[in-house]
C-alpha cells in the first residue's frame, strides 16, 4: 500500500508540473508577443529617423541659403542642419527611452536588454554627431518650442579642427554600423530559439556601408565637405527693423518699420522736418533687432542716445533734461528678431532732440547698413 501511495503521489506531482509548464509556456508566448508589438513600434520610428538623418547628411554640404517663399526671412543651410540634427537627437533619445521602458513583463532570454542597447547606441551616435558638427561649424542647439524663454545666452562648444571632426564623425558612423550588426544578430537569435518576438527589419547603414550616408567612411569624409561649404560658413548681419517711441508721435515721421526686414535693410537719415511728440518729460525707445545672418549672436549691445538738436540761438534745455544714453544687451538667433524696450531718457518741452539707435555689429559683419537709425524729435511745448 505504501508503494502504491508513493507512486500516486509522484504521478500527481508530475501532472502538476506538466500543467504549470503548459500554463507558463502560454504566458511566455503572450509576453513575448506583447513585447514584440511594443518594440516594433519603436523600430518603425527608428527606421524613419534613420532615413531622415541619412537624407540630411547626404545633402548637407550642398544645402543653399535662401529666403522662405513670399517672405524676407532667411532659411539658412546652417539652420536646416541644426533643425534636422536636433530633431534626430530628440527622436532617438525618445526611442531609447521607450525601448528601456517596454518591460516588465520581460520577454524570454536577453531580448529586451539587447534591443535596448541597440536603441541606446543609435541615440548616443546621433547625439555625438550633432555635438561634433556643432563644434565644427560653430553652431548651437536650437531652442525647444514651448520651452520657457531665458535671457541667458546659449553656450557654444569650443571649435574643433576638420581632422578632429572627421575622426569623431567616423567613430559615430562606426557605432551606427555596430548597432545594425547587433540588431541583425538579435533577429537571428530570436529565429534560432523560436522566440515569439516579431520585429521588423532595421538598417541605418545599408550595404555597401562605404557608400552609406551614415556609415563611418562617408561621415568621416563629410567633415571636410561641410567645412568647405560656402553656405555653411558663418555670416554676420544684424539690422534694426523697427523703432517705436513712448509717448507715440502725434505727427507723421519716420518712426516705425525700417526697410523690409532682411530683404531691404537701410539706415534712416533725419530730414529737416522733425517727428512731433506730445508734451513729455521723458522719451523711451522700443527697438526690434533682426538677425539676418547665419549664426546666433550673443551679448549684442543696443544703445539709444538722445542729445539736444535745437536750431542755433535757442536757449539750451534745463539741466537734467538734456537726454542721455540707455543701453541693453540681447541674444538674437539666426533668422530671428528680438524686441526690447530701452530705458526712458529725460527731455524738456519745446526743444528738439536727435535720437540715435544703434546695434553693435559683430566683428565679422562687413555691411553695417541698417545697424544705426537716426531721428529728429520735437517735444511739444
> Which of the two residues, 237 and 4, has the higher pLDDT score?
237
Clarify whether residues 32 and 152 are in a common domain.
Answer: yes
Tens-place pLDDT, residues 44-91: 999 999 999 999 999 999 998 775 544 455 567 888 898 999 999 999
Clarify whether residues 258 and 193 are in a common domain.
Answer: no
For the segment 214-219, the average pLDDT, to the nearest whole number, is 97
First-residue to last-residue Cα distance in the chain: 126
Clarify whether residues 316 and 226 are in a common domain.
Answer: no
> Which of the two residues, 3 and 314, has the higher pLDDT score?
314
- Angle CA(293)–CA(294)–CA(295) in degrees, nearest 5? 100
Clarify whether residues 151 and 87 are in a common domain.
Answer: yes
Tens-place pLDDT, residues 368-379: 999 999 999 999
What sign does the dihedral 364-74-254-300 (CA atoms) show? Answer: negative
Clarify whether residues 243 and 166 are in a common domain.
Answer: no
> Residue 347 burial by CB count (10 A; 0-12/13-18/19+): exposed, middle or buried?
buried
Report for 7-16, 133-142, 332-341: range of highest mean pLDDT: 332-341
Domain boundary among 201, 232, 263: 232
Q: What is the model's pTM?
A: 0.68
Q: SS3 of 215, please?
A: coil
> Residue 217 burial by CB count (10 A; 0-12/13-18/19+): exposed, middle or buried?
middle
8-state DSSP, 314: P
- Structure confidence at residue 254 (pLDDT): 60
> Which of the two residues, 68 and 249, has the higher pLDDT score?
249
* pLDDT value at 230 more than 50: yes
8-state DSSP, 130: H
- Four-point Cα dihedral 277, 348, 327, 248, nearest 10: -10
Clarify whether residues 195 and 132 are in a common domain.
Answer: yes
- Structure confidence at residue 6 (pLDDT): 47
At residue 122 the predicted structure's pLDDT band, cuts being 50, 70 and 90, is very high
> Which of the two residues, 326 and 74, has the higher pLDDT score?
326
Clarify whether residues 261 and 154 are in a common domain.
Answer: no
Clarify whether residues 111 and 259 are in a common domain.
Answer: no
Q: Which domain holds residue 48?
A: 2-232
* pLDDT value at 95 more than 90: yes
- Angle CA(61)–CA(64)–CA(66) in degrees, nearest 5? 160
- Four-point Cα dihedral 112, 113, 119, 125, nearest 10: -170
How many domains is the chain partitioned into structurally? 2
Clarify whether residues 98 and 193 are in a common domain.
Answer: yes
Q: Each residue of 244-268: b (16+ CB within 10 Å) or e?
A: bbeeebeeebbbeebbebbeebebb
Half-sphere exposure of 322 (CA within 13 A, CB side): 6
Clarify whether residues 78 and 104 are in a common domain.
Answer: yes
Residue 35: which region, alpha, beta or left (left: phi > 0; alpha: psi -120 to 50)? alpha
* pLDDT value at 345 more than 90: yes
Transcribe 248-295 into DSSP letters.
PPSS--S-SB-TBTTTB-------SSPEEE-S-SEEEEEEEEEE-SSS
At residue 124 the predicted structure's pLDDT band, cuts being 50, 70 and 90, is very high
Give the list of residues 6+ apart from residue 206 with CB closer than 8 angstroms, or none.
Answer: 212
What sign does the dihedral 186-188-192-195 (CA atoms) show? Answer: positive
Tell me the sheet residues that pair with 287.
243, 340
Clarify whether residues 227 and 243 are in a common domain.
Answer: no
Reported as type and span, the H/E element at residue 51 is: helix 2-59
Report for 2-11, 16-25, 113-122, 290-299: range of highest mean pLDDT: 113-122
* pLDDT value at 43 more than 70: yes
Tens-place pLDDT, residues 129-174: 999 999 998 887 655 444 444 433 444 456 899 999 999 999 999 9
Residues present in the chain in total:
381
- Structure confidence at residue 253 (pLDDT): 59
Domain boundary among 232, 266, 299: 232
For the segment 296-323, the average pLDDT, to the nearest whole number, is 94
Give the list of residues 6+ apart from residue 151 with CB closer than 8 angstroms, or none.
Answer: 331
Give the list of residues 6+ apart from residue 166 with CB closer than 8 angstroms, or none.
Answer: 220, 221, 223, 224
Residue 104: how many CB atoms within 10 A of its CB?
9
- Structure confidence at residue 364 (pLDDT): 85
Reported as type and span, the H/E element at residue 352 is: strand 352-359
* pLDDT value at 333 more than 90: no
Q: CATH no. for residue 365? A: 2.60.40.10
> Which of the two residues, 113 and 366, has the higher pLDDT score?
113
Clarify whether residues 206 and 247 are in a common domain.
Answer: no
Domain boundary among 232, 259, 280: 232
Amino acid at each position: 500500500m505504501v508503494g502504491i501511495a508513493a507512486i500516486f503521489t509522484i504521478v500527481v506531482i508530475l501532472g502538476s508540473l506538466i500543467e504549470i509548464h503548459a500554463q507558463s509556456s502560454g504566458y511566455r508566448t503572450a509576453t513575448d508577443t506583447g513585447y514584440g508589438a511594443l518594440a516594433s513600434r519603436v523600430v518603425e520610428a527608428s527606421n524613419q529617423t534613420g532615413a531622415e538623418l541619412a537624407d540630411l547628411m547626404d545633402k548637407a554640404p550642398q544645402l543653399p541659403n535662401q529666403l522662405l517663399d513670399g517672405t524676407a526671412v532667411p532659411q539658412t543651410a546652417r539652420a536646416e542642419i541644426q533643425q534636422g540634427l536636433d530633431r534626430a537627437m530628440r527622436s532617438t533619445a525618445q526611442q531609447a527611452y521607450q525601448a528601456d521602458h517596454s518591460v516588465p513583463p520581460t520577454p524570454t532570454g536577453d531580448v529586451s536588454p539587447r534591443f535596448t542597447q541597440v536603441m541606446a547606441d543609435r541615440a548616443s551616435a546621433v547625439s555625438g554627431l550633432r555635438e561634433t558638427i556643432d563644434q565644427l561649424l560653430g553652431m548651437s542647439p536650437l531652442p525647444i518650442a514651448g520651452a520657457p524663454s531665458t535671457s541667458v545666452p546659449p553656450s557654444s562648444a569650443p571649435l574643433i579642427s576638420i581632422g578632429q571632426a572627421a575622426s569623431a564623425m567616423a567613430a559615430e558612423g562606426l557605432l551606427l554600423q555596430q548597432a545594425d550588426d547587433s540588431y541583425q544578430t538579435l533577429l537571428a537569435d530570436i529565429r534560432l530559439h523560436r522566440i515569439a518576438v516579431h520585429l521588423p527589419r532595421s538598417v541605418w547603414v545599408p550595404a555597401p556601408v562605404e557608400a552609406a550616408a551614415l556609415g563611418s567612411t562617408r561621415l568621416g569624409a563629410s567633415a571636410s565637405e561641410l567645412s568647405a561649404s560656402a553656405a555653411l560658413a558663418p555670416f554676420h548681419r544684424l539690422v534694426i527693423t523697427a523703432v517705436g517711441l513712448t509717448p507715440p508721435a502725434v505727427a507723421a515721421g519716420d518712426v516705425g518699420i525700417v526697410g523690409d526686414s532682411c530683404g531691404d535693410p537701410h539706415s534712416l537719415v533725419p530730414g529737416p522736418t522733425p517727428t512731433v511728440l506730445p508734451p513729455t518729460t521723458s522719451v523711451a525707445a522700443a527697438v526690434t533687432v533682426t538677425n539676418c545672418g547665419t549664426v546666433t549672436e550673443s551679448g549684442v549691445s543696443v544703445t539709444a542716445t538722445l542729445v539736444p538738436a535745437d536750431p542755433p540761438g535757442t536757449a539750451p534745455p534745463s539741466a537734467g533734461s538734456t537726454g542721455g544714453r540707455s543701453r541693453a544687451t540681447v541674444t538674437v538667433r539666426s533668422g530671428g528678431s528680438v524686441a526690447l524696450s530701452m530705458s526712458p531718457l529725460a527731455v524738456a518741452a519745446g526743444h528738439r532732440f536727435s535720437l540715435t539707435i544703434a546695434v553693435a555689429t559683430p566683428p565679422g559683419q562687413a555691411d553695417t547698413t541698417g545697424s544705426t537709425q537716426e531721428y529728429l524729435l520735437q517735444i511739444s511745448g
